[in-house]
Structure 1
């Protein structure tokens, strides 16, 4: 029961932060969710559509894993692994909140060449080029370890893969948007964290 309560609290904090940031920026006339919106190359549009679908689906699966564990193909993981999942999930929440806070008005989900934003290299972006995506990765993997079931594990792997593909798409767009400033930042800052 402690694992369900912990994950419920952590994922709820994560998603409240996600939607509150969208609401606050929308009040300023900024539409942050650019996934699968506007004219995009077919590959980018396909990845963003899949990522958008996965993001909402995984949230539903996470909450279902909290409230209806008996109806999902539950796996037996040792308590130590489940606690690692709690710590990873908590780390994901922290990374994500620090990322959206550091991004201020420049935070967007998805590639959108029609919107001009500033490059952010301070705060948590000094140690990771993609701390918001890393936060999602940690949230997905952590919740799958803490509430182990086949559906959540498969969904977490798919979500992490799609987030990586989205990062690769953004890495083709960002040099066009920010030029040498981005390329210098990319050369000195890890894609995820430390050396990764």
Structure 2
């Protein structure tokens, strides 16, 4: 039962990610900007390591599900199923709300819009939040030491990517982005 739920959560999440990329590609939009373009070497390096971390984690998640690895009690796996589904929902809402402004990585020179509606009214980084919540859910569903290490590493790299994107966005959107940061928190919540 829990293996099926974990597989469904992963298929929904990665299906949404890849489906969105394919839809944008058909319209001539290059979604994957990770470690591409004229970026400072530290940004390219972080994006490359993050890309490797997410591919590695996806592989470890798949193996963990296929092998039925889980060292957690039923109650923790149930909580993991809920978290995984919530993470999928957050990610789906973020991707839908971004429409054609969604990119993976810093998109220098791309014509995108600052999105601050929908789920972006409550989180500046809901796609990354969706990643993190889904990762934690699958970790609880299929807990094993290798998955724990890969999950923590991927979450740390996602946070580093967020910091780099937030350093870049004021140059792309100016005061509009700075004002948005004053109103909405990085992960979740509005400021008073």
TM-score (norm 1): 0.94
Deviation at 1:75, TM superposition (A): 5.6
What residue number does 1:191 align with?
186
**What residue ranges of structure 1 are gaps of 5+ in the alignment?**
none
- What is the CA–CA distance in structure 2 between the aligned matches of 1:20 and 1:75, rounded to whole Å? 29
Find the counterpart in structure 2 of residue 105 from structure 1.
100
Q: What's the offset of the Cα at 1:194?
A: 2.2
Q: Which residue of 1 aligns with 2:114?
A: 119
Could you list the per-position Cα deviations for residues 50-90 of structure 1 after superposition, in whole angstroms to 9, with x for gaps in the alignment? 11111111111111011123xxxx56322111111111111
SS at match of 2:187: coil
1:19 and 2:14 matched? no
Looking at structure 2, the residues matched to 81 and 54 of structure 1 have their Cα atoms a distance apart, in angstroms, of: 25
Deviations 1:96-150 (Å, cap 9, x if unpaired)?
0000000000000101212120000001000000000001001111101111011
Mapped to 2, the partners of 1:106 and 1:194 lie a distance apart of 22
Asked if the contact 2:37/2:108 (under 8 Å) is kept, the reply is: no
Residues 60 and 125 of structure 1: CA distance in aligned 2, closer, same or farther (over 3 Å): same
Q: How many residues align?
A: 191
The equivalent residue for 1:163 is: 158
Distance in structure 1 (CA, Å) of the matches to 2:105 and 2:85 = 24
**Unpaired runs of 5+ in structure 2?**
none
Matched residues in 2 for 1:95 and 1:147: separation?
Answer: 21
4+ residue segments displaced more than 3 Å: none
RMSD across aligned C-alpha pairs, in angstroms? 1.3
Which residue number in structure 2 is paired with residue 86 of structure 1?
81
Kindly indicate whether residue 91 of structure 2 is the aligned counterpart of residue 96 of structure 1.
Answer: yes
Counterpart position of 1:60? 59
Q: Is the 8 A contact 1:75 1:150 kept in 2?
A: no
TM-score if structure 2 supplies the norm length? 0.96
The whole-number CA distance in structure 2 between the counterparts of 1:75 and 1:113 is 42
